[in-house]
């Protein structure tokens, strides 16, 4: 199961770029909310399998919960008008994804994250 798709990664990166344009802030918030919804669905599935399967499924539930918390912090920062903090949190989220889904990092590495780290608000 691919936990994070190339499209999802591109959505996160696009959301970060939208932070540079105040007129696109609502689009950024909507995209982050969509990603949270997807992660909540993954969490629900992982939680429902945990009692039966245990093992790696339990680890996925914790990872999804951590992702939801980071994205929730991004939304709070955006709603508070702290765009640079939100951008930093999105960078942390991307780094967390790369660390957590090691077998899927080829999806992440192919997106030029080093370019995003150099881009400033």
Please state the domain extents for the chain. Answer: 6-118
Computed from CA positions of residues 16, 8, 79, 71, in that sequence, does the dihedral angle turn out positive or negative?
Answer: negative
Q: Are 113 and 92 in contact (CB under 8 A)?
A: no
Note if the pTM is more than 0.75.
no
pLDDT at residue 107 in the model: 40
Query: What percentage of the chain carries pLDDT values higher than 90?
Result: 19
pLDDT band with cut points at 50, 70 and 90 for residue 118: very low
Q: Tokens 């780094």 map to which residue?
A: 95
Structure-block tokens of residue 12: 């996160």
Q: Any idea what the Cα angle at residue 94 is, between residues 75 and 53, rounded to 5°?
A: 95
> Quick check: 112 pLDDT over 60?
no
**Is residue 28 predicted with pLDDT exceeding 70?**
yes
Under the banding of pLDDT at 50, 70 and 90, the label for residue 99 is: confident
Tokens standing for 61?
């539930």
User: Which whole number is the average pLDDT over 97-105?
Assistant: 67
């Amino acid at each position: 199961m691919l936990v994070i798709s190339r499209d999802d990664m591109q959505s996160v990166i696009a959301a970060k770029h939208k932070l540079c344009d105040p007129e696109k802030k609502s689009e950024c918030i909507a995209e982050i909310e969509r990603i949270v919804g997807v992660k909540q669905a993954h969490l629900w599935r992982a939680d429902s399998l945990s009692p039966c399967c245990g093992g790696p499924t339990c680890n996925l539930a914790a990872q999804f919960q951590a992702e939801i918390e980071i994205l929730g912090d991004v939304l709070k920062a955006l709603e508070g008008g702290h765009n640079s903090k939100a951008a930093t949190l999105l960078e942390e989220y991307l780094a967390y994804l790369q660390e957590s889904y090691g077998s899927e990092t080829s999806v992440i590495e192919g997106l030029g994250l080093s370019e995003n780290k150099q881009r400033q608000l």
